[in-house]
Amino acid sequence: MIIILSSALKLQLGGKKMDKLLIEKTESSPYVCFDAGKNFLIIQGESFPENAAKFYTPVLDWLHAYLQTIKQEEVVVEFEIIYFNSSTSKIFMNFFQMLDEAVATGKNITLNWRCNEENETAIECGEEFKEDIEYLPFNIVLFKGV
Amino acid sequence: MYDVFKREIEVLENAEELLISGKLESVKDIEHYQCLVQEYKGLLNQARRLVKIADLMELKLKHIYQGLEEISNTDFLTNLFNRRYFEENLKKEWLRSLRLDLPLSIIMIDIDHFKEYNDTYGHSEGDKCLQNIAGIIQKSIKKQNGLAARFGGEEFIILLPETDLAEVRYLAELIADNIARLDLPHRGSPIYHKVSVSMGIASLRVKEDITQDILVKMADDALYLAKAEGKNCIREYA
């Protein structure tokens, strides 16, 4: 797992400095790129790390800190996950819960669950995740090809 | 209907009973307890979704596995089984035939003058010819409990459990007739300028002191004889 925390990308947000979180994709873990400067967060690939809690700790920590810094700016979060294990799905639920609570308190966040139009499993999983949240706008976005 | 979360539902029911029982006296306690019950309900719903998502993923993996299994057993060009799958099944059928004292037979088929066919019409047409012959073989053994596979380049093999020599003779004749009826032109062949096949058949009752390779060798020897005796014919291992 490679975590690149580029000091050049440090930003001044709400009086706090946020690094860009960049984790390169591996065979068992997804590409993560959380860009506070662009208010664009993306998780892409497959997720079945041996220790999902360990892998996602910096991701959830970053999100928690980021949610403290934002106000009304438009934030887009994208998930494009082909395959994930059970521990990952629980972590995703916790992730969406954090976003849901932030939206409940007035933050402007949208989540796009992106999947190939032929991947019925990913679509159905997206629908299940959507059921679990209350306030967060949760769009299932279908695309063709790869 | 059985609920996989039966125990969790019982806990919730007990908690709700306690709320209305009057055992909790202070309003603060009741409110606090109600909040916990609500949170538990939410987490239970989440657990249901997690299990459903895991089931969806497992089902997808199962389908992928089935697809891969099919690919690994099939000859890509002809859609018949491949040699690996044939060998696996020969071993299984050999043991079953031994256990139940049943006859086991094999037909080996080779397209005559196939090199000349490729030279005359090109490899793409050669592939189509292989597909046509494979289709005829598959159709001809439809009513039998047989397994047809591509054995090599232009060579096919059929495994026929519970089939004796008389039945295998009939089946080989049927395949030859069906191929003749297909009437595929073959300018490069001296045999009526049509596509034809040579066949070797072998049948035996499995015994403990021999191995399954013997049966394949017998059919192969018979096929060699068919080719040596002018092709476009069926020969039995004697």
- Catalytic residue, chosen from B93, B154, B155, B236, is B154
Q: Does B50 touch chain A (CB under 8 A)?
A: yes
pLDDT, tens digit, 9 for 90 and up, residues B127-153: 999 999 999 999 999 888 899 999 999
- Chain A residues inside the 8 Å CB shell of B38: none
Do residue A132 and residue B46 have CB atoms under 8 angstroms apart? yes
Do residue B46 and residue A93 have CB atoms under 8 angstroms apart? yes
Q: Does A84 touch chain B (CB under 8 A)?
A: yes
Do residue A90 and residue B45 have CB atoms under 8 angstroms apart? no
Q: Which of B235, B86, B83 is nearest to B161 (CA)?
A: B86
Which pLDDT score is estimated for B89? 96
Q: Does A56 touch chain B (CB under 8 A)?
A: no
Q: Does B205 touch chain A (CB under 8 A)?
A: no
Compute the distance between CA of residue A136 and CA of residue A46 in angstroms, rounded to an integer. Answer: 23
Do residue B56 and residue A121 have CB atoms under 8 angstroms apart? yes
Compute the distance between CA of residue B200 and CA of residue A41 in angstroms, rounded to an integer. Answer: 67
Task: With a cut of 50, say whether residue A12 has pLDDT above it.
Answer: no
Is the pTM above the cut of 0.95?
A: no
Contact A51, A1 (CB under 8 A): no
pLDDT interval class at A3 (50, 70, 90): low
A84-88, B1-5, B30-34, B172-176: least confident range: B1-5
Q: Which of B14, B216, B232, B225 is nearest to B105 (CA)?
A: B216
- DSSP lists the bridge partners of residue A69 as none
Question: Which pair of tokens denotes residue A9?
Answer: 């990308």
Compute the distance between CA of residue B223 and CA of residue B70 in angstroms, rounded to an integer. Answer: 29
Do residue A129 and residue B50 have CB atoms under 8 angstroms apart? no
The alpha-carbon radius of gyration of chain B (Å, integer) is 31
Q: Does B53 touch chain A (CB under 8 A)?
A: yes
pLDDT interval class at A9 (50, 70, 90): very low
Question: Is-catalytic flag, B154?
Answer: yes
**Window 121-140 of A, Cβ < 8 Å to B:** 121, 124-125, 128-129, 131-132
**CB-nearest partner of A86 from B46, B54, B59:** B54
pLDDT, tens digit, 9 for 90 and up, residues B44-64: 999 999 999 999 999 999 999
DSSP string of B51-102, one letter each residue: HHHHHHHHHHHHHHHHHHHHHHHB-TTT-SB-HHHHHHHHHHHHHHHHHHT-
- What's the gap in Å between the CA of A76 and the closest CA on chain B? 24
